[in-house]
Structure 1
Amino acid sequence: MTSSASHTSPVLETARRAREAAAVLAPLPRTARDAALHAIADALVERTGELVAANAEDIARARAAGTAESIVDRLTLTPERIAAIAADVRQVVALPDPVGEVVRGSTLPNGLDLRQVRVPLGVIGIIYEARPNVTVDAAALCLKSGNAVLLRGSSSAYASNSALVEVLRDAVQSAGLPADAVQLVPGESRDSVRELMRARGLVDVLIPRGGASLIRTVVEESTVPVIETGTGNCHVYVDEAADLDMAVDILVNSKAQRPSVCNAAETVLVHAGIAEKFLPRALEALTQAGVIVHGDAAWQQAGPGLVAPATDEDWATEYLSYDIAAAVVPDLDAAVAHIRRWTSGHTEAIVTTSQAAARRFTQLVDSTTVAVNASTRFTDGGQFGFGAEIGISTQKLHARGPMGLPELTSTKYILTGDGHTR
């Protein structure tokens, strides 16, 4: 990009305005940010009609393009859904404010007072797919934590997102905050996404939310720091010492309670010592739940005609559907080895009555969340009591696991002396 092009780029100009807005937001008290969030919630309800009308354009375009109805449903805004989104914003208002929190502090031996305090990250770019509710969720969480936000949704929701951001900006401005604290990244082509990914120095961090290909593209091509969020190739390991009733319940819940989300289980591993007893029960329960099993030789033998042969592709797949890969392993260490090879680092669960087995599994498995005798479906900011989340980070720097408000902050050190010199 030439310097003259960069000066006229709408994307970079949007990022510059966001940076100016972030500088205004950072020192504001909680009351100012909460007032803006209340204004947003009220405005969403008051302007429901125009939001539904804009959303209808996206829905018509999606259906004309032959989009699957499941995707159309995720795209759809109704008055009831908008009311629920507004209620979610009000819940964000009630969450503890992370900005200004003292993470640690002490008086040094030389008398200097040292404090590490939470501060906003600055400008956060969110690149996401399909669901327009993410537009409001992301904006609310970023504002609550004192950040300006740049929103780049998918082209399929462009009319909906444009209308939503107009409502958000008007509400933010009515509360006395800069409207540029919330902006839609201009453009519907991939060029605007690439510009956002290369706006280093103007954008502090990017958070991609969507499918594996979107996340991989942002991680590999961005020069702006990226917090990688979660594809979920999650595993359930049923140990030799498992309570079989519990194991069946946890397996079915992990897989079938909502299969299209990142914390749904995609592989089940069973200790060989209980395979003969457990596999028929598991197959019956999974089949009743509508799940198709892609299994190794042991699973195929346990369910002739019910189990499709599993390949390396199955072990690597995040199905997001009523499918699960299944294998019998000789012991816990073999289960861990399988998980280490194929996991995306999201969530793994062990079902066991053995404290030693649970302890070894939690020590050896390196994922954001390791569940003992609990469903993988609990890996979620709301379920963890964080109130809300911007995504589930599967990387290890700065933030890992469900990202609540504290993960949308950085820290700085404040050093106070009395004429101290070194």
Structure 2
Amino acid sequence: MSVLQGKKILLGISGGIAAYKTATLVRLFIKAGAHVQVIMTPASKDFVTPLTLSTLSKNPVHSNFYDQENDNEQWNNHVELALWADLMIIAPATANTLSKMTNGTCDNLVIATYLSAKCPVYFAPAMDLDMYKHASTLKSFESLIRYGNILIPAETGELASGLSGEGRMAEPENVIAFIENDLNSKLPLRGKRILITAGPTYEAIDPVRFIGNHSSGKMGFDIAISAANRGATVYLVTGPTHFKVSNSLIQVIPVVSAEDMYQACHNVYDSVDVAIAAAAVADYRPKNIAEQKIKKTEESFTIELEKTKDILASMGEKKKNQFLIGFALETENEIENAKLKIKKKNLDLIVLNSLQDQGAGFGKLTNKVTFIDQLFQVSPMDLKSKEKVADDIMDKVCQHFEIKI
């Protein structure tokens, strides 16, 4: 999965022949899973049509501060556009547009939106060789980089003048690759390895029956996605669940029983920086598993159970430098029981769920958790989507490693 998945991208197009490349650029952004809105300078419409770009982006294309053909003259709010974006890309960025960006010459919608942008801004220059090498252009490059903008270097090749040299706008595939590589290099958990457990375990009674629980696995999967989105390499050990994930940074290790999960966790535990035990592991399993399906012959039936291995406690015992996070689902004396688990299992942090809280628990899209750390500092959180809870957990991981978020 591309790091651009789900990103809101604002593409500003200025008036150069390289504007024809933006149709392909929009298509590639969409293919990567991004949401795209396009704004154009009036001159850029001589090189590529708004109809083409609106069709590809599936959004209206704006080029003026208001719709001059509409009697209502609705204002195209440049501030709203700028605040919507996760990333802004100005491509092609002509010498004229670069100068306006540098000096704040706000005479079109693209520049007004750029000046309002709070997100990272990338610019891809496109001009002829002599213009590209001119002292004023080089000064624009230096100023824009000093302002915090990110230069996508021009390429060498045939230019519109017929000359060959530097100044050709980077090809759309290379623009995408540059932005992806830049974003990946800045991800806060890049280089960290995280083990996450998810879902229930099924403990066999006979070949067709099992002891299980109602865990859907969503919380663990959301944590895995949040970790991967921050650049971590993730080992997701999951019991039976219908959830799927497609991300090159997430290695899914499917298991069935508590014993399977125990073995899978310890196969990677020594190599990870963080372990998060979000799975609902069975505490007991049948002592004897019938080889054939048990027939319904008796009025009552007794199954002798034995304890499963405590995966979280075993990781606490082996812990070296790992940041170890456990989950606790309690129905009474929640805080006290969670604190006991921190000490007993040698945890750094526990995520407490209470079935007393409406909107929390198995099978829900939301969760309400309380964080308790090694020093027994209690931090209750509001009811949130499980995706937001996963982000909160990753924030705790970043804070542990003193990574700015």
User: Whose RCO is larger (CA < 8 A, sep 6+)?
Assistant: 1
Question: Which structure is higher in strand share?
Answer: 2
Structure with more of its chain in helix, by fraction: 1
Same fold (TM over 0.5): no
Q: Give TM-score, length-normalised by structure 1.
A: 0.29
TM-score (normalizing by structure 2): 0.30
Which has the larger Rg?
2
